[in-house]
Amino acid sequence: MADGTQFAFTPEVERATHTLWNKVKKHVTPMEWRLQAPLIAEINRLKREKNAVILAHNYMTPEIFHGVGDYVGDSLGLAKEAARSDAQVIVQAGVHFMAETSKILSPEKKVLIPDPLAGCSLASSITGADVRLIKQRYPGLPVVTYVNTTADVKAETDICCTSANAVQVVEQAAREWGVDRVILIPDEFLARNVARQTNIGIIAWKGRCEVHERFTADDIREMREAYPEAQVLAHPECPAEVLEAADFAGSTAAMSDFVLSRKPKQVVLITECSMADNVACDAPETEFVRPCNLCPYKKKITLQNIY
Ligand code: CIZ
């Protein structure tokens, strides 16, 4: 059998994974660790043998993120790290559009995804053909595309943005094209949130992340009542009223930086479940309240299919 279950939790494995265990032990049970550690040790050995690196997205579970990730972070940060790396094989512990983004920045490298069916509701809300139709409808307007899209969509795009720089990119595109409206696709909520922060008119698409769209302003109010001291950090793919009710809006990288640099006593991360688990391993002084909306696509990536 080649799924990794043949590896035992030997004293060598225990020794090789001891430092990692100390990092994750508040968030992984000993029973789980005895199953995970042998695979982690074997995957880390294989990486050296094959000159491979693993890119672990912020939404991976802690045994992947901390156990086998050589680079961790958001999709753009990971793709840039992969391009800088000498490794010829890149394993993307993330979803399909992320692997494509890595391949765009590293065309000469082999980029592998452990499960090609690991998709994304937002990325699959739009195709390259849709973008061509939008361009026909609004000729002369620049197309700004969120990094959370397929390569097919990026290929039809004038410029890409992240949630952190969307406002600046939209304003710069409007200036360079000499127009007062910009097409910003595919995330409807990101587009609305950008529209609130600029005078440039935004033409949007109705794409949504099925994790972030589920959060409501009532969820935030309830959490504030239950945890009055908690800082509430929300992802820009959430509805506008959620961001208004939050203390801070930022991408996964911005949320992580916020917690690690400001060390709040108590925090709520309004995003995918694993994000809090991963940051918590590096932020022992912060207490995490954990509302959990799980991304079924990110959870298709496991230690077994990485192996
Ligand atoms: O591009 C990414 O990594 C995603 C999905 C979100 C973010 O805020 O990092």
Q: What is the pLDDT of residues 117-152, one digit of tens each?
A: 999 999 999 999 999 999 999 999 999 999 999 999
Q: Are 304 and 2 in contact (CB under 8 A)?
A: no
Question: pLDDT-derived band of residue 27, with 50, 70 and 90 as boundaries?
Answer: confident
Tokens representing 122? 């937002």
In this prediction the pTM is 0.93
- Average pLDDT of the chain is 95
Chain centre to alpha carbon of residue 161: 14
C-alpha 187/C-alpha 183 separation (Å) is 11
C-alpha 233/C-alpha 74 separation (Å) is 16
Residue 92 in contact with ligand 1 by CB distance below 6 A = no
Distance from residue 6's CA to the centre of ligand 1 (Å): 34
Distance from residue 193's CA to the centre of ligand 1 (Å): 16
C-alpha 30/C-alpha 21 separation (Å) is 9
Residue 111, phi then psi, degrees to nearest 5 = -110, 120
pLDDT score of 165 more than 70: yes
Residue 271 in contact with ligand 1 by CB distance below 6 A = no
Query: Of all helices (H) and strands (E), which one includes residue 207?
Result: none
Contacts of 14 (CB under 8 A, 6+ apart): 37
C-alpha 276/C-alpha 289 separation (Å) is 8
- Classified as helix, coil or strand, 197 is coil
Question: pLDDT-derived band of residue 57, with 50, 70 and 90 as boundaries?
Answer: very high
Question: pLDDT-derived band of residue 5, with 50, 70 and 90 as boundaries?
Answer: confident
Other residues' Cβ atoms within 10 Å of the Cβ of residue 86: 7
C-alpha 81/C-alpha 1 separation (Å) is 33
Q: What is the pLDDT of residue 292?
A: 86
Question: Which atom of ligand 1 is the closest one to the Cα of 122?
Answer: 5
Residue 272 in contact with ligand 1 by CB distance below 6 A = no
Distance from residue 18's CA to the centre of ligand 1 (Å): 30
Distance from residue 235's CA to the centre of ligand 1 (Å): 9
Tokens representing 232? 């509430």
Q: What is the pLDDT of residue 8?
A: 93
Question: pLDDT-derived band of residue 2, with 50, 70 and 90 as boundaries?
Answer: low
Alpha carbon dihedral 128, 132, 133, 139, in 10-degree steps, equals: 150
Task: Count Cβ atoms within 10 A of the Cβ of residue 210 and give its class: 0-12 exposed, 13-18 middle, 19 or more buried.
Answer: middle
Q: What is the pLDDT of residue 6?
A: 83
pLDDT score of 3 more than 80: no
Question: Which atom of ligand 1 is the closest one to the Cα of 74?
Answer: 3
Q: Are 125 and 146 in contact (CB under 8 A)?
A: no
Residue 256 in contact with ligand 1 by CB distance below 6 A = no
C-alpha 92/C-alpha 87 separation (Å) is 13
C-alpha 217/C-alpha 257 separation (Å) is 24
Distance from residue 74's CA to the centre of ligand 1 (Å): 5
Question: pLDDT-derived band of residue 63, with 50, 70 and 90 as boundaries?
Answer: very high
Domains and CATH numbers, the chain: 11-119+299-306 (3.40.50.10800), 131-204 (3.40.50.10800), 212-297 (3.40.50.10800)
Residue 101 in contact with ligand 1 by CB distance below 6 A = no
Mean pLDDT (whole number) for 151-157: 97
C-alpha 214/C-alpha 106 separation (Å) is 34
Task: Count Cβ atoms within 10 A of the Cβ of residue 215 and give its class: 0-12 exposed, 13-18 middle, 19 or more buried.
Answer: buried
Residues above pLDDT 90, as percent of the chain: 95
Q: What is the pLDDT of residue 26?
A: 86
Distance from residue 129's CA to the centre of ligand 1 (Å): 24
Closest CA to 204 of 184, 220, 223, 189: 184
Minimum mean pLDDT range among 72-76, 211-215, 261-265, 291-295: 291-295
Q: What is the pLDDT of residue 130?
A: 98
Higher pLDDT, 185 or 5: 185
Tokens representing 260? 């690690």
